A and B are shown apart, each in its own frame.
Chain A
């Protein structure tokens, strides 16, 4: 079984400040990890993914995440928030087996203050 916990359902940051969204996972096998973003009234889109190799992965719009096996974490960061980053962010895990499905966390809604 696998699960994802996102700490904080809402995060408020000032424009230009660091964005940090926390994600912890549980998986019985080496996980594949993902962050998806959902803008208002839209479907989710893939922001970045970790499958194997380098543990620091970069995604679109300046976001990056680091896989830390010892901490079972995959936190998402962006050095400087922009107004356009206001959205809901979902962490997800898959066990990597072909045909397996994604398990999503509860989501974190980001508000960016001017």
Chain B
């Protein structure tokens, strides 16, 4: 079983550039979550989807962040333009309906914005 797949694993970019993070959830999972982890703020939920529909995006920090889920097997998190304070590890997770709390996390994308 492949697990949640994220790409790239590491991304270094300059301030002002567009960054796109990608996620492939576990096949058959109904929910997909995007989290951000930093030393200062810990683990924060940014947005989550149910059956490809965004349910709660209240954690998205500002309009520079956007997320899409065009189909059940793919999601993107985009930051445009990026800023140094966006540097963090971004995790994608997925879960089954009825067990939303039993989330399976991907390995994360470490983003550095210089």
Q: Which residues of A contact B (CB under 8 A)?
A: 32, 34, 41-46, 49, 90, 92, 94, 98-102, 104-107
B100 in contact with A101 (CB, 8 Å): yes
- B residues with CB within 8 A of A: 4, 33, 42-43, 45, 48, 50, 55-56, 91, 93, 97-98, 100-108
A43 touching B91 in the complex, CB below 8 Å, given contacts A99-B50, A101-B48: yes
If over half of B's interface residues share one DSSP class (helix, strand or loop), that class is named, otherwise mixed; here it is strand
Please report the number of residue pairs spanning A and B whose Cβ atoms sit closer than 8 angstroms. Answer: 51
With both beta carbons as reference points, the residue of chain B lying nearest to A46 in the complex is identified as B102
Q: Are A42 and B101 neighbours in the complex by a CB distance under 8 Å?
A: no
Shortest B66–chain A CB gap in Å is: 19
Residues of the B chain whose Cβ atoms lie less than 8 Å from the Cβ of A43: 4, 91, 93, 105-108
Closest to A103 in B: B45
A27 to B91, CA, bound (A): 25
